[in-house]
Amino acid sequence: MFKNIKTKISHFFQLLFCLTLASCSDQLDLVPETAVTDASFWKTPADLISACNALYLNLPVIANSYEDNYSDIAYATAPNSVSDGSRLAPATSTDWSSNYTLIRRSNTILEKAPGVVGDQVVIDKAKGEASFFRAWAYFELVKRYGDVPLILRTFDLGDSLNTAHKSPREMVIKQILSDLDYAVSVLPEIDAQPAAEYGRITKGSALSFKSSVALFEGTRQKFFGYGNSTENLKIAMESAGTVISSGKYDLYKHPTKPDSSYFYLFQFAGEGKQNKENVLVRLYGKDVVTKIVTHNVSGNIEQAYMTPTRALLDMYLYKDGLPLGKSAFSKTQTSTMTQFENRDPRAGMTVFNKNLWYATNYYVPNFSFSVTGYKVAKWFNKPDWDNGSFTDFAIIRYAEVLLNYAEATYELNGSVSDEVLENTINKLRARSGKSIVAPLTNQFVTSNGLDMRTEIRRERTIELAMEGKRYWDLLRWKTAETELPKPVLGTKYFPSEQGTLKNPNLTADGFIIVQPTEKRKFLSNRDYLWPIPTTEFAFDPNLTPNPNW
């Protein structure tokens, strides 16, 4: 059966030499695996599993959460060229080349599997994993570049695929969904997966990812006016609904501190198979004895690799379920803590404030390594800051599946029932076992002059904040052209609490201006797609640049 991904991680690196000889090039990988692998390989199911182990290196790392810097809710220490619209087409990019490397590796496994003799269940699982990762790579390409070459087999230097044309995104999306359907059909359920195999792809993770792919494309089709949005929204709703109705996943609840469950979800307490919210996780290990690899997220948080902005803080509801400006609890900010009072508790568990322990004492608001005046609280803990962190990264959480279901239902039908809201969004608000924020209902929306779509999107943004999801949501909703040109603001400035700043640039009501609107732009006829790396056009003359790049 499968090797333990923690104890057999060395298999990843044993395969790297034979599987990546061609990957140093930024073009589509052209050298077939048969030219670089040992002739004795690809004989047993264990060989297929060893090859699949290498695919897991391509799962998003915790630093992928920094993709929120592309959006309006996060900022690092300097302007981000994706966020402010100043980037140029790059010569090369791993966003292109690494995904085609992953596709090549996946294609190789799928081609070699029919010649392997042995336990068919193991062979099918390997094919399922390879299909999942091929789907993953193609979605990473499509959501960035739109139409891309669809390569479903290995090839050598004399093959016509060397100069492949772009395939329409609709065709690529259909292939992604087909690959995921196959993965769902052969992969084990999470509760049938041995504990030693925790971290490998399961039926639930494939279904959950399928819901995200279909929701992305379905909403994009709806708001950009192309294709069959109804078909994809149905797929999104049905896939998420299958995961929900399976009863195999649930929101995390801390055993002794349920009111702080959301905070501990991103600490060691929330790790492991016992946390039923973890649908797909990038494993790092527990300590130096069991480590797979370390990351430095706590140090990076301290150094402000990503910091929250005012745009995020303004999204959090008050406990009466109403937003800033509408709530009776909304009041003029007179200290750094005012913005957290009577607010959705996720605000104070996502963003550092005086109630959270920092390095050696409770957090003191300041601008040290933070031009916004805010710092991320998710994943931070002092021991890891000193020694390197092993905190796992939940790539897909059950919370996202609930949000997918609520949004897909609303966008498909133009409405959403109170029953669906109660079993999705309101479950998030009552994560601790009690609802600290008033529940969302149709009557509540109507009586308070709210907009249901806005509230569904708000819930998604705050639940998944600082996890790298927001920018991609802005693209599929076609709201990036509205949100990204806005100025980036930080905290309200209180010198007595935060220390003296030399010549601070402030709004009329005292908020830090991090990047003014005149320094930001989003070209709607260009920036909804990324620029294909320019060297790719030399490798493949049949490629064409994306519009206005």
Say if 126 falls within a structural domain.
yes
Q: Which residue shows structure tokens 């959460």?
A: 65
Q: pLDDT digits over 452-479, tens only?
A: 999 999 999 999 999 999 999 999 999 9
Say if 325 falls within a structural domain.
no
Last residue of a domain, one of 423, 448, 477: 477
Say if 9 falls within a structural domain.
yes
Last residue of a domain, one of 477, 503, 532: 477
Please tell me whether residues 19 and 100 are part of one structural domain. yes
Q: pLDDT digits over 471-520, tens only?
A: 999 999 999 999 999 999 999 999 999 999 999 999 999 999 999 999 99
pLDDT of residue 539: 92
Please tell me whether residues 183 and 113 are part of one structural domain. yes
Whether residue 231 has pLDDT greater than 70 = yes
The residue range of the domain holding 536 is: 1-78+93-187+521-543
Per DSSP, 316 falls in state P
Q: Which of 517, 516, 549, 522 is nearest to 533 (CA)?
A: 549
Q: pLDDT digits over 343-356, tens only?
A: 999 999 999 999 99
Please tell me whether residues 127 and 214 are part of one structural domain. no
Q: pLDDT digits over 381-420, tens only?
A: 877 776 778 889 999 999 999 999 999 999 999 999 999 9
Contact (CB, 8 A) for 127 and 149:
no
Q: Which of 465, 426, 460 is nearest to 444 (CA)?
A: 426
Please tell me whether residues 138 and 6 are part of one structural domain. yes
pLDDT of residue 292: 82
Please tell me whether residues 422 and 469 are part of one structural domain. yes
Please tell me whether residues 21 and 100 are part of one structural domain. yes
Contact (CB, 8 A) for 179 and 120:
no
CATH value at residue 214? 1.25.40
Say if 337 falls within a structural domain.
no
pLDDT of residue 162: 87
Report the predicted TM-score, pTM, of the whole model to 2 decimal places. Answer: 0.93
Q: pLDDT digits over 29-49, tens only?
A: 433 444 445 577 999 999 999
Please tell me whether residues 149 and 244 are part of one structural domain. no
Say if 213 falls within a structural domain.
yes
Using CA atoms, how far apart are residues 480 and 438, in angstroms rounded to an integer? 29
If you average pLDDT over residues 74-79, what whole number do you get? 97
What band does 2 get if pLDDT is binned at 50, 70 and 90? very low
Fill in the amino acid letter for 365. P
> pLDDT averaged over the chain?
91
Specify the number of domains making up the chain: 2
Whether residue 289 has pLDDT greater than 90 = no
**Would you give the end-to-end CA distance of the chain in angstroms?**
48
If you average pLDDT over residues 434-462, what whole number do you get? 96
Please tell me whether residues 233 and 178 are part of one structural domain. no
Percentage of the chain with pLDDT > 90? 84
Whether residue 444 has pLDDT greater than 80 = yes
pLDDT of residue 38: 53
pLDDT of residue 515: 98
Whether residue 328 has pLDDT greater than 60 = yes
pLDDT of residue 25: 32
Please tell me whether residues 39 and 174 are part of one structural domain. yes
Contact (CB, 8 A) for 197 and 152:
no
pLDDT of residue 15: 38
Say if 202 falls within a structural domain.
no
Percentage of the chain with pLDDT > 70? 93
What band does 265 get if pLDDT is binned at 50, 70 and 90? very high
CATH value at residue 53? 1.25.40.890
pLDDT of residue 433: 79
Say if 242 falls within a structural domain.
yes
Please tell me whether residues 97 and 23 are part of one structural domain. yes
Contact (CB, 8 A) for 399 and 276:
no
pLDDT of residue 37: 53
Fill in the amino acid letter for 197. E
Whether residue 13 has pLDDT greater than 90 = no
Whether residue 187 has pLDDT greater than 60 = yes
Please tell me whether residues 124 and 272 are part of one structural domain. no
Please tell me whether residues 165 and 261 are part of one structural domain. no
Say if 233 falls within a structural domain.
yes
Whether residue 21 has pLDDT greater than 50 = no
